[in-house]
Homo-oligomer: A and B are copies of this chain.
């Protein structure tokens, strides 16, 4: 019976060659034909596999990347994790999943772990403003810039906000609202507001904003909307919510207020969230290009033919109909549901 975990030494003994020869065969370096065959045979016979830990120690490269992300439960995060994992796998890189729960202490702990584990790089979606990152390990940030030296990848949130405004205008809205939570932090998604304002102005579309502060309850929105009901009808005929998650909440509020969606009021969210991750859209929405964001993060991290790291990369978003806006069959700019 062969050993449970054969090493190169075992393979060398089995094949009757030297250790170095085995190493060369394993790494595809030139070696005499007859030797190569014998070594390959021995490898198969013993079922040999390289030990990444010994290899990593020697090369100081581990082909492993850590992903810091709040969780994998919420659809945007889960989707991101999936696509980043796929992009890494395609390049034969391993991925350490680090669910941080957005806890600053835990995030820092994971950074430490990543360093101990000698990862080749870190991709992080963290809102922690004072995360300490070692100079040594390459880092790519998602959705929040972490300084000039660290590239940040995000979707084009400004354009997304603008697109939402334009869509609402195109679909016949005359008076719209923008609803947002989580205002305090500086991050890319915050640009959705500015983009929306810009879009409204360029279309001369009157708008109002309701922006919650950190501690506020979502019920503030209920009060806000209730206040804007006149003769049983909402004074807004269009609402842009900063996320699909919020849009879903607002949808329920509107139902309670007896407003029909999309007949009385049209609703656009942001993210491109689908039911069960892969089915239809939860609401009409500005879709983030999650797969492209993932691919870009990995490409930047592994520095594939990129001479210089850009500080901020914004990827194009698109509009998708999801039942909470008027349908516009035949419209040029209309994305369909897969």
Contact = CB atoms under 8 A, between A and B. Distances in A.
Interface of A: 4-5, 49-54, 56-57, 62, 67, 71-75, 77-79, 81-82, 85-86, 89, 94-99, 101, 106, 112-113, 115-118, 135-136, 244-245, 248-249, 273, 275-279, 282
Nearest to A276: B245
Contact of A116 (B52, B71, B244, B279): B52
Given A81-B72, A248-B276, A118 B53 contact: yes
How often does this chain occur in the complex, in copies? 2
A56 B54 CA distance: 8
Contact of A99 (B86, B116, B117): B86
Given A89-B99, A94-B96, 17 more contacts: A4-B135, A49-B116, A50-B116, A52-B117, A53-B53, A72-B82, A73-B79, A74-B78, A78-B78, A78-B81, A81-B81, A85-B97, A85-B99, A86-B99, A248-B275, A248-B276, A249-B279
Contacts of A71: 82, 277
A99 B82 contact: yes
A53 B59 CA distance: 11
A226 B5 CA distance: 59
